[in-house]
Copies of this chain bind each other. A is one copy, B any other.
Amino acid sequence: MTATTEAAPRRRLSLHTLGPVMALIALVILGASLNSNFLGAANLTNVLARSAFIGIIAVGMTFVITGGGIDLSVGSMAAFVAGVMILAMNALIPSLGIGVPLIAAGMAVALLAGLAAGLLNGVLIAKVGIEPFIVTLGAMGIYRSLTTWLADGGTLSLDFAARSFYRPVYYDGILGVAWPIIVFALVAIVGEIAMRKTPFGRHCAALGANEQVAKYSAVKVDRVRMATYVLLGGLVGLATIMYVPRLGSASGSTGVLWELEAIAAVIIGGTVLKGGFGRVWGTVVGVLILSLIDNILNLASIVSPYLNGTIQGVIVILAVVLQRQGKSAE
């Protein structure tokens, strides 16, 4: 919320652009030097696959933030969508049996639930005109408590047989690349293209930069704004589709703090929090940075685990300092 809006980045290959990438590289080097297994396929697969949920959501968040909005509800929305998906699948087993139709039905439910939740946020924000912060803060509490209520305070678990059938969606993949990684990569690529090459991306940036100008330029401001939230909701649904096969369960504590992590990834990646400029590839880098910090802390065990949060915080700030240094040096 400093003067970043004014000086939207332009120069290529500047420190500002390279900042997050350099931070990422530094982390990789650090990890490799701490533990020889760090660069092993198994560990990289783990880290990337885990990043996928937050990553997919963060790509959607990039559009919301670029359009001048924010969404605090994604974490609890994910928990809610997962809960609904599990309940629906369990209910459908008698009629569909365990097999591809069941999985497909579950996926459809998740996507629809996500889109509907996003639409609700979008309508309240774009049509009714309430601050996104308030709408999504309220939604965060609502979904979180609905999930707890659905689970009767406990955990919603997918039927064991169904889960065994569904499990490969998280753990298997093509040519040794796990599905979540593939899906995340696809979402990131499509997102990057949508941001840079499509009218929608342009309109998001215009909306975030100056809503008046966008309106005077025949941009359907309300519709674009709503679309960003619907898109994010859909991506939350998609992330859930990847999440449920992993542990087969959802509870009130699923997805806690995902919203902050997603927003942090977006900002670390160079998107401007006040809107007007967004960078999907930067978000991907941001997500990887955050995942790697956790991974490295677990691999290193240098310090008291109580201090993990301190190290995380310091690294996050440093990653952004790198980036801003480039900027202020103009």
Contact = CB atoms under 8 A, between A and B. Distances in A.
A129 B323 CA distance: 10
Interface in A55-96: 68-70, 72
A288 interface: no
Interface string A249-276: 0000000000010011001100001110
B320 A142 contact: no
Interface stretch (A41-49, A105-113, A145-153, A167-175): A145-153
B149 A320 contact: no
Q: How large is the interface on A (under 10, 10 to 19, 20 to 34, 35 or more residues)?
A: 35 or more
A141 B1 contact: no
Contacts of A310: 141-142, 145-146, 149
Given A267-B133, A320-B130, A320-B131, A141 B2 contact: no
A275 B309 contact: no
Contact of A145 (B275, B306, B327): B306
This protein's copies in its complex: 2
A87 to B, nearest CB: 15
A101 interface: no
A268 B142 CA distance: 17
Nearest to A315: B138
Interface string A293-315: 00000000000101111101110
Nearest to A274: B274
Contacts of A137: 260, 264, 313, 316
A256 to B, nearest CB: 11
A148 B321 contact: no
A133 B273 contact: yes
A134 B312 contact: no
A212 interface: yes
A140 interface: yes
Interface stretch (A120-128, A156-164, A240-248): A120-128
A13 interface: no
For A6, A68, A320, A321, the residue with the greatest tally of chain B CB atoms inside 10 Å of its CB is A320
Nearest to A264: B137
Interface in A178-211: 211
Given A274-B274, A313-B145, A128 B324 contact: yes
A79 B296 CA distance: 27
Nearest to A252: B306
A306 B148 contact: yes
Interface of A: 1-4, 6, 68-70, 72, 124-126, 128-135, 137-142, 144-146, 148-149, 152-153, 211-212, 225, 260, 263-264, 267-268, 273-275, 304, 306-310, 312-314, 316-317, 320-321, 324, 327-328
